[in-house]
Chains A and B, each alone.
Chain A
Amino acid sequence: MVWETVIGLEVHVQLATKSKLFSGSSITFGAAPNTQANIFDLAMPGTLPVMNEAALRMAVKFGLAIDAEIGRKSVFDRKNYFYPDLPKGYQVSQLDFPTVGKGELEIALEDGSTKVVGITRAHIEEDAGKSLHEDFQGLTGIDLNRAGTPLLEIVSEPELANAKEAVAYLKKLHSIIRYLGISDGNMAQGSMRCDANVSVRKKGDTELGTRTEIKNINSFRFVEKAILHEAERQIDIIEDGGRIVQETRLYDADKNETRSMRSKEVANDYRYFPEPDLLPIVIDEAYIEAVRAELPELPNAKRERFVSQYELSEYDAGVIASSRQMADFFEEVVAICKDAKLSSNWVSVDLQAVLNKQDLEIENSPISAERLGGLIARIKDKTISSKIAKTVFEAMLESEQSADEIIASQGLKQVTDSGAIEKLVDEVIANNPEQVEQYRSGKEKVFAFFIGQAMKASRGKANPEQLNTLLKQKLKA
């Protein structure tokens, strides 16, 4: 039996406002418990919500970035449920009239092709507080600092066909929200959280199978693992003659398994109704156009520009453009060294390897764009070979010096003086008569041996092209 997986993602993005959605409390991460929870956040009687304009603007910005319909009139609703970290007894959300309607997101697949994934909607809602179940002698501790933090919940169509597509979608979403500056997208801190709706069906079936919702997925890697695991679990159940129960499951990264949390309450158990404390939000064309004018160049547009302006390959341009910070860094480097291809390689390969190893973002790169540009400029003007450049790069990691300073102090300047190179070549030929004989009798492979010897003698500094030419001439003589 051939099965196919159908995945839809619900992604909660914490909006990067300074204050809460409906109150003037701060939302700084890591503050001491309940120091950012005021009388409104605690749902004291008589308090009323006042909507934060920045949260609305960020939602609209996202909507424009995914070509979505912007709700000219959005309405908040109460989603009612009881939990101690939700003091009001309801979450304010948007049910029928979300701020962002249907849109789409283009994702890159592994084979290099692209796929357009539908986004059903994105609505603004408030976050709940945190419950801590440990260490309180049988009681639960409640921290309401997070209660009322503005979230944008982005709901995709069930159009993702496997775990890899889900990861690609999530990464693209992450890239876009960071480009827009509407969230830091930090999954470890919970600024971006993902729930996955997963179902399986026989290949070719048009009806969707019963789905489960997996919660608590807080890294790109876990998304892939959780989905793979859940799809397998479902297939096993069906093949054993069982049936899937619609429920919420929790992903346990330590055990790499999902386990049942609770049967999904049917939708109307939340008894949604329009929030009487808030009037409808009305957005006019002028507002939308003002937000549109604030949109930065987005990843796809940047990728295309990098291809046409810098003649990068689609792939290289895509890698660089996936992060606004990396793209900015790259353009700074190019401005200094004037070589886009070299810059792209050094930024996305050499520097990225260092960043990965040290677990750093490019904003905190140990080598600034200015220093890297200075290094590449010396490769381009042939002061150093690309091999020596790696040595200089390593040295730059250990110091604050510029490439020029390191090249000067370590005497790494490439030897381009043809007299000096000629001398090297003569020596190598004189010292290795046996190999010279072999070469001259037609064993051309020996040529690499001569290059190696000459390079060694110059401590890697001989200009490779000049060396090549001269060696060939002399050996033929």
Chain B
Amino acid sequence: MALEQSDVEKIAQLARLDVDANEAQEVTKRISSILELIDQMQDVNTKNVAPLAHPFDAIQRLRPDEVTETDQREYLQAIAPATQDGLYLVPKVIE
């Protein structure tokens, strides 16, 4: 499966990664080579293999529904760049 440089640029944009045109060319090559490896793996017959959700052969342990956390707002907001009225402030976002 071949990857175009425009694909890389789009993925970088979605991931909010700053990849300039030179880097994009290099990254396209490298990701393409990974995809070649995947192409090879596609040839393996996996008809009788269930999809793997996690590399560990284990199941999720669950926790009882209890409130175990206390209010740490003061402590956590001390390291935030900007806060007001208990809110974290970020650059304006409007859709």
Contact = CB atoms under 8 A, between A and B. Distances in A.
A55 interface: yes
B1 interface: no
A56 B89 contact: no
Contacts of B77: 34
Contacts of B49: none
Nearest to B59: A282
Given A42-B76, A84-B90, A139-B92, A35 B85 contact: no
A274 B56 CA distance: 13
A280 B69 contact: no
Contact of B73 (A26, A37, A75, A271): A37
Given A26-B69, A82-B16, A34 B63 contact: no
A38 B89 contact: no
Contact of A274 (B54, B93, B94): B54
User: Which size bracket describes the interface of A in this complex?
Assistant: 35 or more
Contacts of B45: none
Interface in A139-193: 139-144
Contacts of B18: none
Contact of A142 (B68, B72, B76, B88): B88
Interface in B42-82: 53-54, 56, 58-69, 71-73, 76-77, 82
A50 interface: yes
Contacts of B89: 136, 139-142
Interface residues of B, number: 37
**Interface SS, A side:** loop
Interface stretch (A15-23, A321-329, A374-382): A15-23
Contacts, number: 131
A278 interface: yes
A53 B76 contact: no
Contacts of A50: 61-63
Nearest to A139: B89
B90 A274 contact: no
Given A51-B63, A54-B65, A139-B91, A34 B73 contact: yes
A279 B73 contact: no
Nearest to A274: B53
A139 B54 contact: no
Given A36-B71, A37-B73, A140 B90 contact: yes
Interface in A8-52: 17-19, 23-26, 32-39, 42, 50-52
A18 B67 contact: yes
A419 interface: no
A136 B65 contact: no
A131 B68 CA distance: 26
Interface of A: 17-19, 23-26, 32-39, 42, 50-56, 73, 75, 80, 82-84, 97, 131-133, 136, 138-144, 261-262, 269, 271, 274, 276, 278-282
18 contacts: A18-B67, A26-B69, A34-B86, A34-B87, A34-B88, A50-B62, A51-B63, A52-B62, A53-B63, A53-B64, A54-B64, A56-B62, A133-B93, A140-B89, A279-B60, A279-B61, A280-B53, A280-B59
